[in-house]
Amino acid sequence: MMRNILLVLLTTLLIFSCADKKTSTKLRPNIVLIMADDLGYGDLSCYGNEMIQTPNLDFLASQGVKFTDFHSNGAVCSPTRAALMTGKYQQRTGVEGVVTAKSHRDVGLSLSEITMAEELKKHGYSTGMFGKWHLGYDKAFNPTLQGFDEFVGFVSGNVDYHGHIDQEGYLDWWKGVEIENEEGYSTDLITDYGVKYIQENDPEKTGNPFFLYVPHEAPHSPYQRRIDKVLREVGIAGTQAVMEDSIATIYKEMVEVMDEGVGRIIESLKEIGQYENTILVFVSDNGANHFGNNGGLKGFKASAYEGGSRVPAIFSYPDAIKGGNVNDQVVLSMDLLPTFLDFIDQKPTEIIDGQSIKDNLLHQTNLPERDVFFAYGKKSFIRSGDWKLICTENKNGKNLELYNLANDINERNDMSSDRSDMVSLLLEKLEAWEKEVREGVIMVAG
């Protein structure tokens, strides 16, 4: 009799133990991070664009938080991605500039860096990436060696959307660590693989939450629609020219096709019952070039002005965050890694520069005050509260510009002559930061 009672008790405990595990799995959010390439602050309809229609991103913004002062860590591709993956200023990783197809084929993000994928994998997440890597061309820097269980996509700055050929004429479509081309428009392929990954990694079946990284190529050049021809050939560097007066129409469709893909990912999450339990973030890697729309901000991609780094960003998590909010706090790409970890009650393995914005998202509190910094080539800036000091080095020394963004977001009124005290204070901080983040670092791309 006593043996039977013990068996019943043990069985009951096992049932409750399994139930607890299933509940904890369900409570841990999946994470989907979608990144656009060269998308400007004013390129989405939820950011005021009246020509380009992005209903799915508009929906996401209505369900989550839309940022008005989110900045990419870099004003070009690779630096932002290095900061995003590591939670650090990109200078610390040695990737301050673009990892180019012509000059940087043997370098990339060091395997010693702890990436977002590695952090989440350590805490039980399945990890998949589909799209643009741009942190190393050689297979030694492949995403599957940086924490991703699965990878399909390209490793260069951009590929022909149909032929999947990079700027130097190399075929660049990978499945894991091998080049394996396939037919299809790259934006659609990236979405297809993202949807498939969601379907195959339902936490209710696998027992694990998932991290899905979807870095799109769109709307980066070459400017191609679904119906357009191949513009590159294997073995030949360069891209066939596109009529400039047609680019606006092509650009519009490229953004709208990407938006369709966002809609498909949202629907896939709903189909497996995981939409509410998923953190879904959409962001751009830097501002638009002159073919895009930076919402009236000064400057373009690669610029130290606001148009170079202030980008559209949306954060959705229906189970925890009230929808329809607009967030005016200064946030950077590198803040996403610690934020994701904070939502699962974990901390980064090492000291990083990014800060979690979890409390701000949950309670609309102000973030702790901090200075933020930017450097690319001969251009750098410091943002301290509403003040922004831009430093441009040239053959005559340093050209300094000072703006108060609270009343001059378009950076038209240079106050450096009137506020020399502020210039001196901020320049001292900027120079100290530049020295500190570069100390002992070998720049692989700068």
If you write DSSP's letter for every residue of 424-437 in order, what string do you get?
A: HHHHHHHHHHHHHH
Q: Where is pLDDT greater, at 225 or 442?
A: 225
pLDDT at 271 over 80: yes
Query: Residue 252's CB: how many other CB atoms inside 10 A?
Result: 17
From 5-9, 28-32, 156-160, 313-317, the region with the lowest mean pLDDT: 5-9
Q: pLDDT digit string (tens) for 48-87? A: 999 999 999 999 999 999 999 999 999 999 999 999 999 9
DSSP state of 125: -
d(CA 249, CA 118): 40
pLDDT at 22 over 70: no
Q: What is the pTM of this model?
A: 0.93
Asked if 59 contacts 267 with a C-beta cutoff of 8 angstroms, the reply is no
- More confident site: 102 or 151: 151
pLDDT for 27 = 74
Average pLDDT along the chain: 94
Q: Which residues contact 445 (CB under 8 A, 6 or more apart)?
A: 78, 94, 95, 96, 97, 98, 99, 100, 104, 107
Segment 386-419, tens digit of pLDDT: 999 999 999 989 999 999 999 999 999 999 999 9
In this model, does residue 14 exceed pLDDT 60?
A: no
Q: How confident is the model at residue 160 (pLDDT cuts 50, 70, 90)?
A: very high
Q: In sequence order, what are the residues at sequence separation of 6 or more whose Cβ sits closer than 8 angstroms to the Cβ of residue 68? A: 326, 327, 328
Say what the alpha-carbon torsion angle 148, 151, 153, 155 is, to the nearest 10 degrees. Answer: 50
Q: Is a pLDDT exceeding 70 seen at residue 10? A: no
Q: Measuring CA to CA, which residue among 206, 202, 75, 217 is closest to residue 153?
A: 217
Burial 371-390 (b: 16+ CB within 10 A, else e): ebbbbbeebbbbbbeebbbb
What is residue 24's predicted lDDT score, i.e. its pLDDT? 36
- How, if at all, do strands 178-179 and 387-394 pair? unpaired
What is residue 26's predicted lDDT score, i.e. its pLDDT?
A: 54
Give per-residue pLDDT as tens, 200-212.
Answer: 999 999 999 999 9
d(CA 126, CA 190): 18
Window from 84-88, 239-243, 266-270, 442-446 with minimum mean pLDDT: 442-446
What are the chain's domains? Answer: 27-367 (3.40.720.10), 374-438 (3.30.1120.10)
Q: How far apart are CA 430 and CA 434, in angstroms?
A: 6
Distance CA 246, CA 244 (A): 5
